[in-house]
Amino acid sequence: MRVQILYSFFILMVALAGHFISNAYYLQVLTFIGINTLLALGLNMLMGYAGQISLGHAAFYGIGAYATAILTVHFSWSPWLALPVAIAAAVMVAYIVGVPTLKLSGYYLGMGTLGFGMIINIIFREWSSVTGGASGFVGIPALSLGPVSFSSRQNYLYLVWGCVLLCIVLCRRIIDSRVGRALRAIHDGEKAAAAVGVDTQKLKLQVFVLSAGMSALAGFLYAHLVCFISPETFSFIMSIRMVTMVVIGGMASIWGSLLGASLLTLLPEWLHAFSEFEMVVYGLILMIVMIFLPKGLTRGILDIVERSRRSL
Amino acid sequence: MNSDHPLLIVENVSKAFGGVQALSDVSFQLFPGTITGLIGPNGAGKTTLFNLITGIFPADTGDILFKGSSTLNNTVHELVQCGIARTFQNVELFESMTALENILVGQHARTRCGMWGSVFRFPWVRHEEGRATKIAFELLDFIGLKEHALRKSGDLAFGWQRLLELARALASGPRLLLLDEPAAGLNMVETMQLGDLIRKVRDQGITILLVEHDMSLTMEISDAIVVLDQGKKIAQGSPRSIQEDEAVMRAYLGTSPQK
Amino acid sequence: MQEILQYFFSGITNGAIYAVIAIGFSMLYNSTDLINFAHGEFVMLGALTMVTFSGPFHLPLLPAFIATVCCISIAGLLFERLAIRTVRFPEPIVLIIITVGASIFLRGIGMLAWGKDAYSIPPFSTHPPLDIAGAKLLAQSLWILLIVLLMVACLHFFFKKTLTGKAMEACAIDKRAAWIVGIPSKLMVMLAFGLSTGLGALSGVIISPITMCSYDMGTMLGLKGFCAAMLGGLGSLWGSLIGGFLLGILEALGVGFVSSGLKDATAFFLLLFILYARPGGIISALNVKRF
Ligand SMILES: Nc1ncnc2c1ncn2[C@@H]1O[C@H](COP(=O)(O)OP(=O)(O)OP(=O)(O)O)[C@@H](O)[C@H]1O
Ligand SMILES: [Mg+2]
């Protein structure tokens, strides 16, 4: 019941935003928040719930974007046909890479995913006959569906946030089920999870694949919004940005992903001449949050409030 | 009662970690519906034996048969599916989850809702969920923690955590239950309650292999005892015969064998 | 033949540098079970600090060298004190994120302090390149090899012959037991951090005459160093050394015979291969000893 209210509120907010905001810049920022929320949500399923770190998730974001770019431009496919193929491509890569990678744990998993992300980025950069190389890929068509054109910023906003809502519902349902419980069990103790009958390897792989698919969806939306992509966007820094969103919003918190994505999208817009300081700020945020509030901002602040209330 | 086929057969099992021979050539059998005590001094290889039976790592040599078929090629979760459940020497609950959720996860092996099921919430999924919750409350009632169902398991008192871990193991509906020092860290009253619970579990027809340093508990509730020392089985028999066994005395009192 | 030799020379030059970075990783891992994702950034800081000391500050080579290594070691100690020791839940995932955060932070600092330009310093000596069978070996390459071998010998001596070194080794084998016999393990961890980041700085210094040094050089070097350490078996001194040279040579051959665009990919493919197939390193069968 409470969840329905929350969803309705969410839809209302998006509708209001789309209706009343006409400033192109604000609409663009809101759309980016949506795309980043998709990224954070997917990674949070993997990091927050299953407890498996990935430092190369920008690769799936990139695969989604490049797949749709290649199919729509080189092969003149309809974007709506390219979408399932883009997601399937990311899912397939995730499956192939996930089987050996998810056998690793801890630091090795971090290094493995990092190495994977780097390789994919090098492919984007070096395979220039297909990807356009370092200078990028131009001329990706805008989206339209029958009479509805998504080149209008309002419509794109609705499209992106519709996807966000869909993914939130999807993730919520998974979390609140037998599968979600098993995931959290893996997070708390992999050995014990296996000992109660959870196929930890299979489940981790499923979540990895799911989060790759969501990242690819975000990549698709990004590519058709900006109509131009380049390897820079999907580099190591992007992977770190995704991790930062999850960490700030709070691991294992779905609405936290929304918060983390919003903060990290708005922060650069707010801080004037932020770009110079971007890395210093991200680095500090990551360190400070992890040292003092390892459960993330939302959870950490809730904990502090609870503690102070108890001590009263 | 013991006339059936053995439920578990351990056959000449050995296991070494580098230079340490944790188990050498251990054999014994467990009969359905019995409690067998597995005792031995620290480092005797009891936990290692548990890890072999539950498939955490493979034996170097020998074989383990459960319900008549070898378990050597099965993974941990497959063996849970077959009906082997365990608790850990150091309580390993899912601490961020509630007591109820811990037992729900415990039922993982006998429920089947997957990714698609959870996303689309088919009627059978909801039915399964409802039944699992009902069973979970029954188990919580069984260990006397029904009122604490919604508390985080990490916040429970230590004795309760042990009980909860027992209930979680039972939730998978096992034929064979392995308990690794379930009374460690419990006071006398709690230990007695635990003894009663273990007997009740046995009376449901579940076979139990019990590692326990608390001799009075072990001797009281076990139908048979197996003694390990430094990886070797040194004695086996009824509790009474074990108490009088010389080899066992030597192992526990540390006097060197006289020749 | 001449071509192969030329690739080989450039391979061992880079390899020596990867080896020093790998040894830094390995040593820290040995004493603290931690993999410092920010290690590469200390290499970057070392190189750029050296650039500053020998350029604008006009310090002679040796003092600049020593001052750089000392400064970066102190930075490493600060890092340990401020970011690592304060962690309340030192699980791998937390430490990964913290060290990755530190890596981004240091990179940002590097960019603020030195800008986006690339710098280089003159070679340590101005000898002309040696001509061996038609292939050219730079004097700086000789310097690098010499310094690296000297450093490995010193480390070997330190761990085998000095009391402090033995204490560190004891800590690495069993922290609790070391603590019981009275070895101050906290101090040993600090020492390990100082040494490890100092080694990072050293590799930055010796590389600075042969590459263009900029704020973003660290990540790649760090990853390659890690790859080298994994190749040789993480935690082993000689393994890291061999792994470094192996990676350098393979990479040079990859550039020579496949494509220069794949230079960086070589290391990552090797890394993934090692992680998947032989996480103990390719020479683990030889039972390489720890430090
Ligand atoms: N994973 C492992 N790796 C290396 N050695 C191990 C491992 N597990 C157990 N050992 C060694 O095997 C021997 C037997 O250990 P085990 O834990 O089975 O003893 P135990 O009988 O359960 O003792 P306790 O009563 O203290 O629990 C010990 O010497 C132990 O150090
Ligand atoms: Mg034990």
- Tens-place pLDDT, residues B87-113: 999 999 998 899 999 999 999 998 888
The number of domains in chain A is: 1
**Identity at B250, one-letter amino acid code:** R
Q: Which residues does chain B have within 8 Å of residue A49's beta carbon, measured at their own beta carbons? A: none
**Percent of chain B that is helix, strand, coil (3-state, to 5):** 40, 25, 35
Q: Is B44 in the pocket of ligand 1 (CB under 6 A)?
A: yes
**Phi and psi at residue B49, to the nearest 5°:** -60, -40
Q: Which of residues 268-307 of A touch C (CB under 8 A)?
A: 276-287, 290-291, 294
Tell me what pLDDT residue A290 has: 84
Whether A306 shows a pLDDT value over 80: the answer reads no
Rounded Cα–Cα distance for residues B218 and B214 (Å): 6
Please check whether residue C66 lies inside any domain of the structure. Answer: yes
Whether C287 shows a pLDDT value over 50: the answer reads no
Mean pLDDT is lowest, of A146-150, A282-286, B176-180, C31-35, for A146-150
Q: Which residue has the tokens 């310093």?
A: C121
User: A194 near B104, Cβ under 8 Å?
Assistant: no
Quote the tokens at residue C128: 């002309």
Q: Whose CA is nearest to atom 1 of ligand 1?
A: B17
Please check whether residue C290 lies inside any domain of the structure. Answer: no
Report the percentage of chain B scoring pLDDT > 90. 62
Q: Give yes or no: residues B235 and B110 share one domain.
A: no
Tell me what pLDDT residue C285 has: 41
Give long-range contacts, CB 8 A cutoff, 24+ apart: B125-133: B125/A177, B128/A178, B129/A177, B129/A178, B132/A178, B132/B104, B132/B107, B133/B100, B133/B104
For residues C184, C189, C195, C200, the Cα torsion angle rounded to the nearest 10 degrees is 180
Residue of C33, C35, C44, C96 to mutate for A, most A C-beta atoms under 10 A: C96
Q: Which residue has the tokens 């029958």?
A: A146
Q: Give yes or no: residues B132 and B186 share one domain.
A: no
Q: Whose CA is nearest to atom 29 of ligand 1?
A: B43
User: Which of A12, A149, A129, A150 is CA-nearest to residue A74?
Assistant: A129
Instruction: Kindly report the CATH number assigned to the domain that includes residue C104.
Output: 1.10.3470
Closest ligand (CA of B227)? 1
Q: For B142-181, what is each residue's pLDDT tens digit?
A: 999 999 999 999 899 999 999 999 999 999 999 999 999 9
Highest mean pLDDT among A135-149, B166-180, C84-98: B166-180
Q: Is B46 in the pocket of ligand 1 (CB under 6 A)?
A: yes
**Identity at B236, one-letter amino acid code:** Q
Q: Give yes or no: residues B61 and B162 share one domain.
A: no
Please check whether residue C240 lies inside any domain of the structure. Answer: yes
Whether B257 shows a pLDDT value over 70: the answer reads no
Q: Give yes or no: residues B129 and B238 share one domain.
A: no
Please check whether residue C33 lies inside any domain of the structure. Answer: yes
State the alpha helices, DSSP H only, in chain C: 2-32, 39-54, 61-79, 92-114, 139-161, 163-173, 175-180, 185-207, 218-232, 237-257, 263-277
Q: Whose CA is nearest to atom 11 of ligand 1?
A: B22
The number of domains in chain B is: 2
Rounded Cα–Cα distance for residues B232 and B40 (Å): 10
The number of domains in chain C is: 1
Among B151, B173, B195, give the residue marking a domain's end. Answer: B173
Whether C286 shows a pLDDT value over 50: the answer reads no
> CA of A169 to nearest chain B CA: how many angstroms apart?
8
Q: Which residues does chain B have within 8 Å of residue A197's beta carbon, measured at their own beta carbons? A: 77, 80-81, 108-109, 172
Please check whether residue A26 lies inside any domain of the structure. Answer: yes
Q: For B40-90, what is each residue's pLDDT tens digit?
A: 988 899 999 999 999 998 899 999 999 988 998 889 999 999 999 999 999
A310: confidence class by pLDDT, cuts 50, 70, 90: low
Nearest to A286 among C93, C101, C272 (CB): C101
Q: Is B89 in the pocket of ligand 1 (CB under 6 A)?
A: yes
Whether C32 shows a pLDDT value over 60: the answer reads yes
A236: confidence class by pLDDT, cuts 50, 70, 90: confident
Give the Å distance between the CA of B10 and the centre of ligand 1.
18
Contacts of A136 (CB under 8 A, 6+ apart): A228, A229, A230, A231
Mean pLDDT is lowest, of A146-155, B12-21, C28-37, for A146-155
Nearest to B114 among A176, A179, A195 (CB): A179
Q: Does A174 touch chain B (CB under 8 A)?
A: yes
Q: Whose CA is nearest to atom 18 of ligand 1?
A: B45
A194: confidence class by pLDDT, cuts 50, 70, 90: very high
Please check whether residue B251 lies inside any domain of the structure. Answer: yes
Rounded Cα–Cα distance for residues B228 and B28 (Å): 11
Ligand 1 site-directed mutation target among B47, B57, B180, B252, most atoms within 8 Å of CB? B47
Tell me what pLDDT residue C133 has: 75
Closest ligand (CA of B42)? 1
With contact defined as 3+ CB pairs under 8 Å, the chains touching B are A
Rounded Cα–Cα distance for residues C200 and B182 (Å): 50
Residue of A nearest to C270 (CA): A115
Phi-psi group of C115: left, alpha or beta (phi > 0 → left; psi -120 to 50 → alpha; rest → beta) = left
Please check whether residue A64 lies inside any domain of the structure. Answer: yes
Give the Å distance between the CA of B23 and the centre of ligand 1.
9
Tell me what pLDDT residue C288 has: 39
Q: Whose CA is nearest to atom 2 of ligand 1?
A: B17
Contact call for A119 and C272, based on CB within 8 A: yes
* Residue B108 structural domain: 98-173
Residue of A118, A131, A241, A264 to mutate for C, most C C-beta atoms under 10 A: A118
User: A52 near A204, Cβ under 8 Å?
Assistant: yes
Tell me what pLDDT residue C182 has: 80
Tell me what pLDDT residue C281 has: 63
Contact call for A104 and C279, based on CB within 8 A: yes
Give the Å distance between the CA of B47 and the centre of ligand 1.
6
Nearest to B108 among A187, A189, A197 (CB): A197
Quote the tokens at residue A270: 């707010």
Among B173, B189, B213, give the residue marking a domain's end. Answer: B173
Contact call for B118 and A174, based on CB within 8 A: yes
Please check whether residue C288 lies inside any domain of the structure. Answer: no
A139: confidence class by pLDDT, cuts 50, 70, 90: confident
Give the Å distance between the CA of B16 and the centre of ligand 1.
10
Please check whether residue A245 lies inside any domain of the structure. Answer: no
Q: Which residues does chain C have within 8 Å of residue A107's beta carbon, measured at their own beta carbons? A: 34-35, 92, 96
Rounded Cα–Cα distance for residues C258 and A144 (Å): 43
Tell me what pLDDT residue C290 has: 40
**Phi and psi at residue B11, to the nearest 5°:** -120, 110
Mean pLDDT is lowest, of A36-40, A186-190, B104-108, C136-140, for C136-140
Pairing mode, strands B224-229 and B35-39: parallel
A123: confidence class by pLDDT, cuts 50, 70, 90: very high
A160: confidence class by pLDDT, cuts 50, 70, 90: very high
C289: confidence class by pLDDT, cuts 50, 70, 90: very low
Please check whether residue C118 lies inside any domain of the structure. Answer: yes
* Mean pLDDT confidence for B222-245: 89
Please check whether residue B165 lies inside any domain of the structure. Answer: yes
Among B157, B173, B189, give the residue marking a domain's end. Answer: B173
Quote the tokens at residue C125: 């000596």
Instruction: Kindly report the CATH number assigned to the domain that includes residue B184.
Output: 3.40.50.300
Please check whether residue C282 lies inside any domain of the structure. Answer: no
| Degrees to nearest 5, angle at CA A141 with A137 and A146 | 165
Residue of A nearest to B100 (CA): A181
Q: Give yes or no: residues B7 and B69 share one domain.
A: yes
What are residue B233's DSSP bridge partners?
Answer: B228
Whether C195 shows a pLDDT value over 60: the answer reads yes
Quote the tokens at residue C5: 């030799």
Nearest atom within ligand 1 for CA of residue B231: 14
Ligand 1 site-directed mutation target among B20, B54, B218, most atoms within 8 Å of CB? B20
Tell me what pLDDT residue C21 has: 93
Q: Is B40 in the pocket of ligand 1 (CB under 6 A)?
A: yes
Give the Å distance between the CA of A50 and the centre of ligand 1.
29
Please check whether residue B89 lies inside any domain of the structure. Answer: no
Q: Is B17 in the pocket of ligand 1 (CB under 6 A)?
A: yes
**C181 DSSP 8-state letter:** T
Q: At what angle do helices C2-32 and C139-161 cross, to 10 degrees?
A: 30
Q: Which residues does chain A have within 8 Å of residue B105's beta carbon, measured at their own beta carbons? A: 181-182, 185, 193, 196, 198
Q: For A56-80, what is each residue's pLDDT tens digit?
A: 999 999 999 999 999 999 998 999 9
* Mean pLDDT confidence for C52-70: 86
Whether C67 shows a pLDDT value over 60: the answer reads yes
**Phi and psi at residue B140, to the nearest 5°:** -60, -40
* Residue C194 structural domain: 2-277
Q: Give yes or no: residues B166 and B185 share one domain.
A: no
Please check whether residue C84 lies inside any domain of the structure. Answer: yes
Contact call for A185 and B94, based on CB within 8 A: yes
Q: Give yes or no: residues B25 and B138 share one domain.
A: no
Please check whether residue A302 lies inside any domain of the structure. Answer: no
What are residue A229's DSSP bridge partners?
Answer: A137
Q: Give yes or no: residues B178 and B168 share one domain.
A: no
A near C: at least 3 beta-carbon pairs less than 8 Å apart: yes
User: B106 near B171, Cβ under 8 Å?
Assistant: yes
Q: Does A51 touch chain C (CB under 8 A)?
A: yes
Tell me what pLDDT residue A174 has: 93
Give the Å distance between the CA of A254 and the centre of ligand 2.
39
Residue of C28, C78, C97, C219 to mutate for A, most A C-beta atoms under 10 A: C97
Please check whether residue A92 lies inside any domain of the structure. Answer: yes
| pLDDT mean across residues, chain B | 89
Whether C233 shows a pLDDT value over 60: the answer reads yes
User: A218 near A167, Cβ under 8 Å?
Assistant: no
User: Which of B167, B239, B152 is CA-nearest to residue B206?
Assistant: B167
Please check whether residue A290 lies inside any domain of the structure. Answer: no
Pairing mode, strands B84-86 and B176-180: parallel
Quote the tokens at residue C80: 């340990």
Whether C284 shows a pLDDT value over 70: the answer reads no
| pLDDT mean across residues, chain A | 88
Nearest to C112 among A55, A236, A276 (CB): A276
* Mean pLDDT confidence for A235-257: 86
Q: Give yes or no: residues B62 and B23 share one domain.
A: yes
Phi-psi group of C259: left, alpha or beta (phi > 0 → left; psi -120 to 50 → alpha; rest → beta) = beta
